[in-house]
A and B are shown apart, each in its own frame.
With several copies, the nearest count.
Chain A
Amino acid sequence: MTHPYIPNAEPGARASMLAAIGAESVGEFYADIPPDLRLDRPLDLPAPLVAEHDLVRHMRGLLDRTTDTTRALSFLGHGCYPHHVPAVCDEVNSRSEFLTAYAGEPYEDHGRFQALFEYVSMMGELLEMDVVNVPTYDGFQAAGTALRMACRYTGRSKVLVTSAIAADKLSKLRDFLAPDIEIVLAPVAGNGEIGEVALDAGYAAVYLETPNVYGVVETRGRELADLAHAHGALLVVGADPISLGVLAPPAAYGADIACGDIQSLGIHQNHGGGQAGYIATQDHEPLVAEFPSRLFGIAPTKVPGEYGFGDVFYDRTSFALREEGKEWVGTAAALWGITAGVYLALMGPRGMREVGETILARTRYAMDALKAAGATVLHEDAIHFREFAVRVPSAGALLDALRARDIYGGVPLDDRTLLVCVTERHSISDIDRLATAVREAL
């Protein structure tokens, strides 16, 4: 039987093509593979499910053995967030034309270029910065690259990194910066913000996040920018764009590079497969030169008034220069960039402000509710956006008890600390349900 995915496996087509080429068998084309490298048996794989229905049954059997966050009440965040995804976002990113395209030219893939240009442009408005990359893999990669950019730009090899950062992200930074860049950790103050820091002329950058790993909004951005600049270093800020309808963008307090993950902008949690990273700077040529990612720009065509798009300053990249380019560039997360653009266009300035207000208010409500339920809320006086940490006798025991009530209560940061995430998807009654369950379980 000819497989539905392989038209020319049909024996007649195969024979006629061989005849046209003048070959006896497909084996001839493999003549360069030495016999001792040939696999002399079929691969040992499960029997195929060629009938689509059989495959569907098999996959459904596997996928049904999961309980997702629409079937439980989830307060899990810590880098992947349950925001509402407007249906139009899914509609656009599931269009065959976008989903199955790759790397065409600005002509036949005009739509991709325009959609990505619009994405970076809307991010630019949100960030108040003029240069934003076509998405890199994720916020981890974005932070690593932002710090490498700062080092290349300043010619220095030491960075000060907030310790109010996810352990996994720090692991990635350590690996990624390992060969030549030293990471110095800045302490966390009692209020949950970055603590006192001391710089010297060896530092390329200060890196902080807001909201940070504890959901705390940093309030000393301007001070840290001034401090960094006074030492010839850059301020690099990791910021979640969904907060920027209400929180000041890093550029407003002097950050030189902003970076982060855009998963919160209209992209499902996808079991962690929805991450995509942004990096942004002002339009300062020497800093722009350090971007490894592709940058899309608008350009005139030979018809007056018509816009086209293309790569800005392509010769920075490893596509152009191999190891002489900046880091590397490959297939990263462009479709999520298009999706985030759709999200920002749907939300507009009002939607972004409102979602921020709602999250701020509900986060505070949840902190109060869990405190009343008997948990110890950490950094209670700080401003929290979307996340906060609570101290409990046993994080594992509490989570198990909550899970028995179909509640995913939070991400354990350690044996006694739980990170709780609240978004615009969580109604007041959802939060009350959590608080009640926590009270009962503690």
Chain B
Amino acid sequence: WDEPIIFELSHPGRRGVAVPAPDAPPVELPEGVRRENPPALPEMSQLHVLRHYLRLSQENLGVDLNIDVGQGTCTMKYSPKVNDTFANAVAELHPLQHEDTVQGVLEIYWRLERMLAEISGMSRVSLQPGSGSAAIYANIAMIRAYHAARGEGHRDQVITTMFSHPSNAACAKTAGYEVITLMPDADGYPDIEALRAAVGPRTAALMITNPEDTGIFNPRIREFVELVHGVGGLACYDQANANGILGITRARDAGFDLCHFNLHKTFSTPHACGGPAAGACGVAPELEPFLPGPVVSFDGERYGLETPERSVGKIRPFLGVTPNIVRAYAWIMALGAEGLREVAETAVLNNNYLMHQILQIPGASAPWDKRRVEQVRYSWRELAEETGVHSEEIGVRAADFGVHYWTSHHPYLVPEPFTLEPTESYSREDLDEYAAILAHVAEEARRDPEFVKGAPYNQTIHKIDPTALDDPKRWAPTWRAYVRKHLSGSGSEG
């Protein structure tokens, strides 16, 4: 489809949906309060709005459509369709309904909390955060409240690692902490000597992922935790990469005080173009009083809501992203303990199989000669040196074959990175096909680098000129800005 911008489809006088008439006396509004000019929204009939968005949807990929192993760290897995039907069943619930009218939903919260407590080894879990990053933030807020409650508000440093998600650093910073980032050592592990040097009386917490986004499991993780505990800090586990270790090893068993899961990663809720998602914060007993409120309580007969004594307050409105809570609960119920372990083992098998295939492509490598758990950060360094084609360009060209990948978060410590995480959802044939596509593109890059750099050829649009997006004089974050800067001829900046 060559689908115009929606404003170009507008025709005055049309409409897509009608609104109930007031059937009560109209209300007069004083000048300045009433809107003067109608907003220049599109005017379209219902079919035309629908057609536009259906066409746009077809110009999008998704786990359901492609072999989505290329968004490493994101744990792209099958989100069962049946779980969407459960999520839809809560569509018309209001979050402030009386507890008596939502017992079934509260029970789901309660049961999911108990399950995640068992999976992590923690004692209580908050399901309020709207995503993994929000859960990281909630954990930091609890850490801050914990230290403050103990009169240790002077602790103003958070330690994290370079291969942990940037939100660990960014949330800590937002919460007012100084951030210390441990770089990988020669073996690819976070540098324990650097940690030793960093910990001290100012240490509030260690925020660490394991396995990190490289897919390498840090076998000395307990030592890391103990070093931080030794100086009175807390240890907080970013379990975004939990998919390969479900039922294998648990956060609390390594000594962590807090952890979080991304329900949209490990527990299969859909990624939804980037949310709504859901996060879960698990805590050890000493942090329970600080959990965001409310949490669900159960007296053996009835479910209720209560706010912990020293709660950090609200992380988001209401109880949580209930549709995703329902989905995650249903997903675990469909798998059980044995199933979760099969998820983990299969995700790890798939990852190691894919790594085996990828490493046979000349020019591809996986820095550090270590075992990997559920994902691998690969490098096209050799290929880029040989051909001048960068990892991003190879990824774009791969999209011409119906798959794609993500390079990695900045900074590119691994040069020319690409990060693959095949999860348990994909079949061997999928992995073979994916590897074959990358091998083909790598071969193309060798044969005709300019061709690969010119990609895409097979997509809705062609290669974008990105320079306009970083130039305040030309950037157009909305259509009205575009019209003003590029179509009206004035070109002046607002």
Contacts and interface: CB of A to CB of B under 8 A. Distances in A.
Binding partners A and B:
yes
B480 A334 contact: no
B332 to A, nearest CB: 7
Contacts of B482: 298
B404 A105 contact: yes
B130 interface: yes
A350 B469 CA distance: 33
A180 B40 CA distance: 40
Interface size class of A (residues with CB under 8 A): 35 or more
B413 to A, nearest CB: 12
A283 B481 contact: yes
Given A130-B480, A329-B170, 13 more contacts: A34-B219, A45-B118, A63-B90, A74-B94, A86-B82, A108-B399, A137-B130, A148-B174, A244-B39, A273-B276, A336-B275, A346-B44, A357-B26
A62, A78, A303 interface centre (most CB from chain B within 10 Å):
A62
B197 interface: no
A11 B13 contact: yes
B19 A351 contact: yes
A43 B249 CA distance: 10
B108 A331 contact: no
11 contacts: A26-B349, A43-B119, A52-B82, A178-B144, A283-B494, A298-B5, A335-B275, A341-B6, A348-B42, A350-B43, A357-B26
B147 interface: no
A8 B91 contact: no
A181 to B, nearest CB: 10
B274 A105 contact: no
Contacts of B78: 5
A138 B339 contact: no
B18 A275 contact: no
A4 B46 contact: yes
B461 A273 contact: no
Given A51-B21, A348-B43, A140 B316 contact: yes
Interface in B253-312: 253-254, 262, 264, 270-277, 312
A380 to B, nearest CB: 13
B57 A50 contact: no
User: Which 6 pairs between the two chains have the least Cβ-Cβ distance?
Assistant: A179-B176, A48-B336, A330-B133, A272-B318, A272-B95, A346-B16
A26 B425 CA distance: 17
A326 B320 CA distance: 25
A187 interface: no
A198 interface: no
B41 interface: yes
Contact of A103 (B64, B71, B313, B463): B71
Interface in A83-111: 84, 86-88, 90-92, 94-111
B188 to A, nearest CB: 11
Interface stretch (B30-38, B228-236, B439-447): B30-38
A351 B18 contact: yes
A312 interface: yes
Given A124-B478, A310-B464, A285 B45 contact: no
A414 to B, nearest CB: 14
A336 B343 CA distance: 30
Given A2-B14, A272-B95, A428 B23 contact: yes
Contacts of B345: 26
A47 B115 CA distance: 12
A10 B45 CA distance: 10
Interface in B317-344: 317-326, 330, 332-343
Contacts of B149: none
A114 B33 CA distance: 33
A135 B275 contact: yes
A114 B98 CA distance: 40
A337 B252 CA distance: 37
B104 A80 contact: no
Contact of B57 (A11, A95, A329, A333): A95
Contacts of A219: 30, 32-33
A58 B25 CA distance: 24
Interface residues of B, number: 215
Interface in A322-346: 322-325, 327-336, 338, 341-342, 344-346
A190 interface: no
A13 B13 contact: yes
B317 A79 contact: yes
Interface stretch (A200-208, A226-234, A248-256, A371-379): A248-256
B14 A348 contact: yes
A216 B293 CA distance: 28
Nearest to A172: B314
A42 B14 contact: no
Contact of B94 (A21, A269, A342, A427): A269
Output the residue of A283, A319, A424, A425 with the most chain B CB within 10 A.
A283
B170 A312 contact: no
B379 to A, nearest CB: 19
B477 A114 contact: no
Select the residue from A80, A221, A300, A315 with max chain B CB neighbours within 10 A. A300
A313 B470 contact: yes
Nearest to B100: A403
Contacts of B248: 30, 33, 38-39
A378 to B, nearest CB: 17
A78 B115 CA distance: 32
Given A37-B222, A68-B92, A299-B464, A342 B319 contact: no
Interface in A345-398: 345-355, 357-358, 360-365, 383
A306 B461 contact: yes
B12 interface: yes
Contacts of A174: 313
Nearest to B171: A328
Interface in A18-61: 18, 20-21, 23, 26, 28-34, 36-39, 42-56, 58-59, 61
Contacts of B96: 76, 78, 80, 411
Contact of B219 (A33, A261, A313, A360): A33
B192 interface: no
B19 A39 contact: no
A238 interface: no
Interface string A237-249: 0000000111111
Contact of B273 (A53, A268, A338, A425): A338
Nearest to B20: A51
A203 B35 CA distance: 29
A154 interface: no
A430 B19 CA distance: 17
B242 to A, nearest CB: 13
Nearest to A81: B94
A322 B464 contact: no
A132 interface: yes
Contacts of A115: 53, 56, 273
A30 B344 CA distance: 11
Contacts of A65: 103-104, 107
Contact of A302 (B17, B216, B330, B465): B465
Contact of A180 (B176, B340, B370): B176
B491 interface: no
Contacts of B122: none
Given A13-B428, A269-B92, A111 B249 contact: no
A399 B57 contact: no
B273 A102 contact: yes
Contacts of B342: 3, 6, 9
B76 to A, nearest CB: 6
Contacts of A14: 346, 349
A252 B349 contact: no
**Which of B216, B248, B334 is the most central at the interface, judged by chain A CB atoms within 10 Å of its CB?**
B334
Contact of B477 (A111, A312, A362): A312
